[in-house]
Amino acid sequence: MVKGIGASPGIAMGRAFVIPVWEWDFPDKIIDVSDLAYEFQRLHDGIRSSKHELEHIKREVSDVIGQEKSSIFDAHLAILDDPVFMNEIQVIMQKQYKAAEVAVREVIEKFIGMFDLLDDDYMKERALDIRDVGGRLLKNLLNDFEETLPPEDQPYILVAKELTPSQLARLDVSNILGILVMLGGATSHSAIMARAFGIPLVVGLEGKLPQPIQNGDFLIVDGETGDVFVNPADDVTAQYMLSQRQYSQTREQLQTIIGLPCLTQDGCEIRLEANIGSLKELDLALSHGASGVGLFRTEYLYMDRHTLPKEDEQFEVYRQAAERTGQHHLIIRTLDIGADKQLDYITLPEEDNPSLGYRAIRISLDRKDLFKTQLRAILRASIYGRVKIMYPMISSLEEVRMANKLLEEAKQELLSRLLPFNRHIEVGVMIEVPAAVAIADMLAEEVDFFSIGTNDLTQYVLAVDRMNETIAHYYNPFHPAVLRSLKQTVDAAKAAGIPVGVCGELAGDLRALPIWLGLGVEELSMSAQSLLQVKQRILNSSAERGRAIFAKLMACKTGNEIVELLAEFDSLAK
């Protein structure tokens, strides 16, 4: 067994089809000055062909994975229009008299090298986008490249060193049982597409396999745990065949509880809401019985494009989301970029520690024009549903007051344009840094609700970079310090009489249910895939027992003790 990183859940079993690595292996070709015009024409013809192909791919996949996720290919089109990228190619051609494909190869390798040197997983994965676009352009320049494709009408597990979005889009996904990728991470564009297609995916296997996987090898892929088996023993195969059947049966059984009230066995109600980044995800969440949206990550409206979204464009998305959630509330988080979420068209400063730097509300308060455009769009959508506004990464009262001042300015601007909006829209804050926990009682007097972001809260409380694999074992959301921070936050909210929800990964972690029952948290927001599993656990649980377990948890001195107690509750609730 080999351990990778589970990036898209599910169990896949089948024969491997390995995508061969295409190396840009062709000799340098020096041209005569009289051939420059011809080479430039070849370059422009190759660019035009590449754009047409990308536009065709985008149209094809948008019907399956939705318009929002298919916008991945807008980022690829933008690379072909990037003046810096194209100027670098033309300068090599003009000054060094190199053929178009040679100049393109050198610029691709230069840009990939620059991205790979950055200590940022998100930016490293954008190097794959450069490789994908550059490879497409080279293929159109060379003409004679023959791509190895899998056999038609034969299911397989796709194996690749790197997998680009356009490679995945070219394949018949109905035949892909699962995917293994040696390089890349869970935030890559290909991983996003795999999750949208519902294909189990494991990444990060580079250097872990005792020998390369060959075409025809029998594989077992667990996209939840990251476990991979190559030509396993019969007993392992039998075990996973049983697990696969159970997984399918469980998914079918969970569908039967969609319409049931979300109550514990002793009558405690917990609202299960969704974390979304697009309308497509909202539709999926509602089909899984979500009682509204606890977190709309608006940064995805800004990503994979080359200009800021305008007010009307944002308004249209927020309006549709508000209408679809109906009587349930829709909590829209204002732009949360920086750190691992970068925008190509906004230059952010290079920082030694971006997680503690220029990000989230700090950017919004600095870029008031950008912030107020978004606030106006949210306000305009507020008359179409129960819309609320939430500010990310708040660490002081001053930030809340400054943000609210800009919100009032946005309201006045809409009044001057005679545009309707909810003048009493509720405003809340994310509790995700220790400073916010320490002044939670003060913040509770200024806002209408709290939402606890457990991912960042754990990171900052424990001083552990959650993107750093070297210290990943220190990242423990069940650390006593995290538990105390949660209690302090919830106690402050209850004392002030405002609601408090949880929207981090811990909300969807089945083990954490006694924590929420013990604290009296009534709103949990999570991915659509987690909703029904958590609901089933709630239906089989007792709030009274959860409170009893929580009292013991608060006396625990180590994370291991906490996990053991939670496992005891878990075994009784199954």
- Quick one: which of 2, 400, 386, 433 has its CA closest to 217? 2
pLDDT tens readout for residues 240-254: 999 888 888 888 888
Percent of the chain surpassing pLDDT 90: 55
pLDDT tier at 150 (50, 70, 90 boundaries)?
Answer: confident
Contacts of residue 132, Cβ cutoff 8 Å, sequence gap at least 6: 76, 164, 165, 166, 167
Question: Is 262 designated active site?
Answer: no
What's the rounded mean pLDDT across residues 258-275? 95
By the 8 A CB rule, do 165 and 73 touch?
yes
| Mean of pLDDT over the chain | 88
By the 8 A CB rule, do 513 and 538 touch?
yes
Between strands 293-297 and 271-276, the pairing is parallel
What's the rounded mean pLDDT across residues 449-462? 95
The catalytic position among 189, 288, 329, 479 is 189
The percent helix, strand, coil of the chain (3-state, each to 5) is: 55, 15, 30
Percent of the chain surpassing pLDDT 70: 89
pLDDT above 90: residue 543: yes
Neighbours of 173 (CB within 10 A): 18
pLDDT of residue 144: 57
pLDDT above 90: residue 159: yes
Phi then psi for 543, rounded to 5 degrees?
-65, -35
pLDDT tens readout for residues 466-502: 666 577 778 899 999 999 999 999 999 999 999 999 9
By the 8 A CB rule, do 444 and 421 touch?
no
pLDDT tens readout for residues 27-57: 788 888 888 999 999 999 999 888 888 887 7
pLDDT above 80: residue 26: no
Q: Distance between CA atoms of 312 and 296, rounded to whole angstroms?
A: 18
pLDDT tens readout for residues 169-228: 777 888 999 999 988 776 566 777 787 677 899 998 988 999 989 999 999 999 989 999
Question: Is 556 designated active site?
Answer: no
pLDDT tens readout for residues 380-436: 999 999 999 999 999 999 999 999 999 999 999 999 999 999 999 999 999 999 999
pLDDT of residue 481: 97
pLDDT of residue 248: 82
pLDDT of residue 460: 94
pTM over 0.75: no
What's the rounded mean pLDDT across residues 133-156? 77
By the 8 A CB rule, do 288 and 258 touch?
yes
pLDDT of residue 91: 92
pLDDT tier at 125 (50, 70, 90 boundaries)?
Answer: low
pLDDT of residue 68: 54
pLDDT of residue 74: 75
pLDDT tier at 520 (50, 70, 90 boundaries)?
Answer: very high
Q: Distance between CA atoms of 253 and 388, rounded to whole angstroms?
A: 34
pLDDT above 60: residue 274: yes
pLDDT tens readout for residues 564-573: 999 887 766 5
Q: Distance between CA atoms of 368 and 336, rounded to whole angstroms?
A: 14
pLDDT above 60: residue 319: yes
The catalytic position among 268, 288, 479, 503 is 503
Q: Distance between CA atoms of 222 and 240, rounded to whole angstroms?
A: 9
pLDDT of residue 164: 73
Helices (H), 417-542: 434-438, 440-443, 454-462, 480-496, 513-519, 528-539
pLDDT of residue 563: 93
- Count of residues making up the chain: 574
pLDDT above 70: residue 285: yes
